[in-house]
Amino acid sequence: MTSIRYIITAEFLHHVPDGLNPNDGTEVTKSVDGRRTWSVSADDKFGDIMRKVERTNPYRVTITEDSAESLPY
């Protein structure tokens, strides 16, 4: 018997240094897309899972059922 697992993908923006402002010397940053993926058991509590996900400060979260164990071969 296989257990159901879910794949959670969180997309987020983070800021990285991109040089100095030539006018006043302050640091300039640029936004870069990031993505983090987790595989979790369906038995895990949803609140615990989302606490982990929210640490990335995501703007989009996708949850899909993991079909790797349900392949016919």
**Mean pLDDT, 10 residues at a time, the chain of 73 residues:** 84 93 95 92 89 88 81 51
Separation of CA 66 from chain center: 16
> What gap in Å lies between CA 44 and CA 38, rounded to an integer?
12
Q: What is the pLDDT of residue 14?
A: 87
∠ Cα 38 58 55 (to 5°): 70
> What gap in Å lies between CA 51 and CA 23, rounded to an integer?
41
- Give the global pTM: 0.67
Q: What is the pLDDT of residue 19?
A: 95
| In the chain, where the domains are located | 5-67
